[in-house]
């Protein structure tokens, strides 16, 4: 399983590192710079609002399905036919709830129009994730890796034509950005649907009430968890816009979006680990295989990446943000430097939380997520009026940090991992050494990007010396004969 994890992780990271940086730094950033802080902040608020009720599109079916299909592949045909009907009903429920709450919160005119398109995009994206859950549940991880970047490739093509193709004389509008996403998601969903229908030997859609009740009942704990995690991860810009007076709320949301972009991009790296780990953990737990080695491997890799990224971002925050957004970016620079430390916590969550999900320890995860929501809301309500968007950055970091600490404690208790003090010492030494190296790298007489590259080289050497990252181990794992599924 280590070999399967490493080989597919290399493929998945390679594809995403080729495609997603261009999407985030080339397309998404260009759109924000063209339309301006206020209009992009308007879009960012609506976009994150649509995420708050995203769980009603899925009710945890996707995560339940990955775990279930990975452990019982023979159920794909039966479950796929029934779940298609269930998800169609859930889409209607999602639209009704989202627009009802939007109207209650004073959304009107352009906000409702944009929300309609974005809500439809959420349905398409949720459908893609569900279809991919069947593909990854079958451990077709290479196919899943290709599908995972297809929507971004299509969006780059469509948005690239709109941005630089000179096909219109009008200034770029934020609605075009949303329309391009719609087209890309539709094409990706059709391709993923075709693959799953072939694998499931799909013949017809059927409605079965007992099956509906069974699916909802078994997936509800997953739904609760996803809802609460989405809530405390996406509520910040909505709270900023609602708490602060107009137009400060929208502008501050736009500033937060600037800082959030690279943080969100970094989190996608950790999310890729979780995509691979959930079916692998589920399969290993079902077959009573020890998970400690793959947990340590995944956590070591993510800890090395996240600490390096966070410390580098803290010391070079001004240079990085000035490169992305020329001009004065004092507020977004400070927010960025705080948010990026949350990447360390999120990386741990994607390892420990995924392991607990695969184990079915959803009660503990839901208690942790609920606590994180309460903490996030309290800090936001206290700090946003005083510190504006920066207050939300502190709220986000606090919620994520508490979550990962509690998850790590529960993992240790359930799986009875022995405390490896030399290993924990290596993690601490790496973090401290990187902070010292980053401080002194700023003093070097070179351009800042040269200093940053040297700092990354130091991180690679340090992680190798401390055995947190080993090319030799990677090669030996890849050369191993694959373990039977």
Q: What is the pLDDT of residue 435?
A: 96
Q: Which residue has the tokens 């630089």?
A: 164
The tokens describing 167, both together, are: 């096909």
Residues 388 and 244 sit within 8 Å (Cβ to Cβ): yes
The tokens describing 350, both together, are: 């994607």
Q: What is the pLDDT of residue 56?
A: 80
Q: What is the pLDDT of residue 478?
A: 44
Q: Rounded CA gap, 223 and 59, in Å?
A: 4
Helix, coil or strand: residue 325: coil
Rg (CA), the chain: 22
What lies within 8 Å, CB to CB, of 40 at 6+ separation is 31, 32, 174, 254, 257
Q: What is the pLDDT of residue 21?
A: 76
Angle at 282 between CA 56 and CA 362, to 5 degrees: 45
Q: Rounded CA gap, 336 and 239, in Å?
A: 18
Domain contains 183 = yes
| CB-based contacts of 315-324 (< 8 A; 24+ apart in sequence) | 315/438, 315/439, 315/441, 315/442, 316/438, 316/442, 316/448, 316/451, 316/452, 319/448, 319/449, 319/452, 320/262, 321/258, 321/259, 324/25, 324/29, 324/258, 324/261, 324/262
* Residue span of the structural domain in which 116 resides: 2-479
Residues 4 and 482 sit within 8 Å (Cβ to Cβ): yes
What lies within 8 Å, CB to CB, of 57 at 6+ separation is 87, 90, 91, 94, 122, 123, 126
Q: What is the pLDDT of residue 484?
A: 37
Q: What is the pLDDT of residue 204?
A: 67
Domain contains 484 = no
Q: Rounded CA gap, 177 and 278, in Å?
A: 32
- Packing angle, helices 292-315 and 421-441, rounded to 10: 20
First to last CA, the chain: 8
Angle at 221 between CA 216 and CA 226, to 5 degrees: 105
Provide the 8-state DSSP code for 466.
T
Q: Which residue has the tokens 């994206």?
A: 125
What lies within 8 Å, CB to CB, of 172 at 6+ separation is 31, 34, 35, 162, 163
Q: What is the pLDDT of residue 220?
A: 67
Q: What is the count of structural domains for the chain?
A: 1
Q: What is the pLDDT of residue 280?
A: 80
Could you tell me the mean pLDDT of each successive run of 10 residues in the chain, 485 residues long? 62 74 80 82 85 77 68 66 79 91 85 92 90 78 83 91 84 90 94 85 68 70 66 78 86 86 83 78 84 87 94 93 77 91 92 88 87 91 92 93 93 89 94 96 92 94 85 50 40
Q: Rounded CA gap, 45 and 60, in Å?
A: 24
Helices (H) and strands (E) in the chain, counts: 19, 0
Domain contains 30 = yes
Domain contains 485 = no
Domain contains 305 = yes
Provide the 8-state DSSP code for 72.
-
Q: What is the pLDDT of residue 327?
A: 67
């Amino acid at each position: 399983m280590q070999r399967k994890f490493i080989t597919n992780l290399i493929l998945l990271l390679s594809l995403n590192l080729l495609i997603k940086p261009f999407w985030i730094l080339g397309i998404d950033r260009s759109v924000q710079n063209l339309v301006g802080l206020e209009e992009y902040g308007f879009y960012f608020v609506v976009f994150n609002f649509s995420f708050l009720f995203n769980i009603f599109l899925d009710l945890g079916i996707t995560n339940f399905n990955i775990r279930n299909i990975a452990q019982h592949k023979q159920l794909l045909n039966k479950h796929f036919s029934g779940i298609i009907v269930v998800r169609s009903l859930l889409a209607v429920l999602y639209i009704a709830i989202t627009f009802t709450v939007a109207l209650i919160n004073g959304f009107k005119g352009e906000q409702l129009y944009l929300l309609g398109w974005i809500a439809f995009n959420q349905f398409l994206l949720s459908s893609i994730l569900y279809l991919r859950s069947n593909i990854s549940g079958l451990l077709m991880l290479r196919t899943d890796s290709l599908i995972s970047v297809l929507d971004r490739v299509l969006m780059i093509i469509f948005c690239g034509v709109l941005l630089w193709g000179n096909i219109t004389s009008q200034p770029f509008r934020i609605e075009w950005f949303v329309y391009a996403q719609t087209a890309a998601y539709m094409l990706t969903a059709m391709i993923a649907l075709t693959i799953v229908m072939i694998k499931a030997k799909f013949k017809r859609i059927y409605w079965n009430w007992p099956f509906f009740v069974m699916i909802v009942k078994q997936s509800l704990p997953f739904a609760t968890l996803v809802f609460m995690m989405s809530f405390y991860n996406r509520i910040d810009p909505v709270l900023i816009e609602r708490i602060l007076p107009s137009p400060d709320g929208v502008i501050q949301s736009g500033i937060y979006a600037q800082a959030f972009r690279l943080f969100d991009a970094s989190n996608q790296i950790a999310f890729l680990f979780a995509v691979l780990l959930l079916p692998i953990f589920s399969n290993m737990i079902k077959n009573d295989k020890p998970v400690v080695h793959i947990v340590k491997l995944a956590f070591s890799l993510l800890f090395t990446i996240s600490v390096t990224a966070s410390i580098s971002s803290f010391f070079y925050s001004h240079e990085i943000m000035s490169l992305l957004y020329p001009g004065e970016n004092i507020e977004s620079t400070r927010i960025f430097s705080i948010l990026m430390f949350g990447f360390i916590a999120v990386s741990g969550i994607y390892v420990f939380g995924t392991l607990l999900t695969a184990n079915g320890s959803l009660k503990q995860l839901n208690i942790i997520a609920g606590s994180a929501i309460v903490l996030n809301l309290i800090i936001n309500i206290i700090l946003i009026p005083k510190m504006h968007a920066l207050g939300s950055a502190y709220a986000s970091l606090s919620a994520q940090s508490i979550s990962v600490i509690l998850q790590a404690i529960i993992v240790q208790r359930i799986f009875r991992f022995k405390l490896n003090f030399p290993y924990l010492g290596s993690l601490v030494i790496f973090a401290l050494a990187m902070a010292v190296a980053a401080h002194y790298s700023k003093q070097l007489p070179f351009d800042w990007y040269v200093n940053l590259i040297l700092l990354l080289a130091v991180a690679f050497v340090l992680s190798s010396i401390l055995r947190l990252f080993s090319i030799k181990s990677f090669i030996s794992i890849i050369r191993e004969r694959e373990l039977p599924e």
